[in-house]
């Protein structure tokens, strides 16, 4: 019996660390870093909407904007480390489960694995930028390059189409969950005043709907690229945001979406403060 207990000790210790103050700190640092990126992208998109956008409204543009600030290099490294923390937190959810009654189910673990992979890539790109590599190009160029490569492989059109449809569905799912305020399940609502809760709901609903809309439109462009066998029709974050200004509503729709992304950045800060980890 003692031998069995000893054999379980490393995993139990790892779980204790992941669910303790270290894991909580990683989660809150990661959510703060996510908030910074969405806040900057939203501000850049607002500048584009009002005809004063000198940078692309994507992660690369956000990093360049941050680099121009006082102590920009230190801010970039801090952002990259925060995103590494986010990836590690999501990895802990894969290994030990997340909060909630169904946190250990396979579906939740798979979702955490996808998020871990995504934030690992984002953290790598941010740290590469901080190290002076200049990144790997704009989101628009990356989207077109990846789409072109996938279209060349066997069943490439199906791969791009399914991936695009998945992104579009994910966008709708994100928007619907935000509108229904499903994030309440993850917040420590008892620690918030009524006024604070209302403000958080404004950022959570508006920000989540805007974020979901961007995902849904980007996915739709990917599906169109697959159907037409035209990689140039795939769009990254910057081109996707600019497409909102090409609708009959003109730049005002882009203003609404951009403001929503700013609000989602603020919502991420609120999550960093009150989320149950």
Q: Which residue has the higher pLDDT, 91 or 103?
A: 91
The pair of structure tokens assigned to 119 is 């934030």
In angstroms, the CA 48 to CA 33 distance is 23
Q: What mean pLDDT do residues 118-146 have?
A: 83
In angstroms, the CA 211 to CA 183 distance is 14
pLDDT of residue 51: 81
Is the predicted pLDDT of residue 2 greater than 60, yes or no?
no
Alpha helices (H) along the chain: 2-19, 21-49, 59-67, 72-96, 106-130, 139-152, 156-179, 194-228, 237-244, 251-274
Q: What mean pLDDT do residues 150-163 have?
A: 91
Spatial CA neighbour of 208 closest among 87, 38, 28: 38
Q: Are 23 and 17 in contact (CB under 8 A)?
A: yes
Q: What mean pLDDT do residues 256-262 have?
A: 96
Predicted TM-score (pTM) of this structure: 0.87
Q: What mean pLDDT do residues 254-274 have?
A: 96
Q: What mean pLDDT do residues 180-201 have?
A: 94
Q: Are 185 and 276 in contact (CB under 8 A)?
A: no
């Amino acid at each position: 019996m003692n031998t069995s207990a000893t054999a379980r000790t490393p995993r139990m210790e790892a779980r204790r660390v992941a669910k303790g103050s270290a894991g909580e700190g990683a989660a809150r640092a990661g959510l703060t870093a996510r908030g910074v990126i969405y806040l900057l992208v939203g501000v850049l998109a607002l500048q584009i909407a009002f005809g004063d956008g000198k940078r692309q409204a994507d992660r690369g543009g956000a990093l360049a904007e941050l680099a121009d600030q006082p102590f920009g290099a230190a801010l970039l490294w801090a952002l990259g480390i925060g995103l590494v923390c986010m990836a590690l937190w999501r990895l802990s959810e894969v290994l030990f489960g997340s909060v909630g009654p169904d946190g250990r189910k396979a579906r939740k673990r798979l979702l955490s694995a996808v998020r871990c992979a995504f934030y690992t890539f984002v953290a790598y790109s941010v740290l590469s930028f901080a190290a002076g590599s200049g990144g790997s190009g704009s989101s628009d160029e990356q989207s077109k390059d990846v789409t072109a490569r996938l279209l060349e492989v066997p069943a490439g059109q199906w791969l791009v189409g399914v991936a695009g449809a998945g992104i579009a569905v994910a966008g709708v799912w994100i928007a619907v969950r935000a509108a229904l305020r499903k994030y309440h399940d993850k917040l420590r609502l008892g620690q918030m005043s009524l006024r604070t809760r209302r403000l958080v709901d404004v950022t959570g609903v508006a920000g989540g709907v805007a974020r979901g809309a961007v995902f849904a439109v980007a996915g739709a462009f990917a599906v169109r690229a697959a159907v037409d066998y035209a990689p140039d029709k795939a769009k990254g974050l910057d081109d996707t945001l600019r497409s909102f200004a090409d609708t009959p509503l003109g730049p005002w729709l882009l203003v609404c979406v951009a403001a929503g992304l700013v609000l989602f950045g603020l919502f991420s800060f609120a999550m960093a403060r009150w989320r149950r980890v």
